[in-house]
Amino acid sequence: MNRAEIRINRELQRILKEPPSNCSANVIDEDDIYQWVGTIMGPKDTPYENGVFFLKITFPSTYPYDPPKIMFNTKIYHPNIDDDGNICLDILRKQWVPTLTISKVLLSICSLMADPNPNDPLMPNIGKQYENDINAFNITAKQYTQNYAS
């Protein structure tokens, strides 16, 4: 087993034993430790509440020195998540440090869902709507949650 596999296995055991609040993750196939599915329960008091959101987690062979690639498989209406499921979150790019774990990353994504950053949007039109008409944003985000995440 190489360094990445040792670290990924350790994180897998930890997340299965003590999953972060409102989140979980597991391997998709026991024969491929590098491919996981993550689950986030929509944060309370947000338009995503009661939704179940699935994410695809792919670890590079250079993990933990390079970040995992994480994408939403569940369609979501959010200024920092595009139509393909890409997530604009600094710790998944420039701010990645090897001490971060999947548990911490899932909690950060959950936090981003509860508190979008319209100043750094992947979806500029949704970012503008979030800033200028939060009620319309919430209605559309709730509708997406009901349609795709329930």
Per-residue pLDDT of 107-127, as tens digits, reads 999 999 999 999 989 999 999
Distance CA 116, CA 121 (A): 9
Options 40, 88, 106, 110, the catalytic residue: 88
When pLDDT is averaged across residues 126-140 and rounded to a whole number, the result is: 97
Distance CA 60, CA 64 (A): 8
Q: Annotated catalytic, 88?
A: yes
Quick one: which H or E segment has residue 12?
A: helix 3-17
pTM equals: 0.95
17: left (phi over 0), alpha (psi -120 to 50) or beta: alpha
User: Tokens 């360094």 — which residue?
Assistant: 3
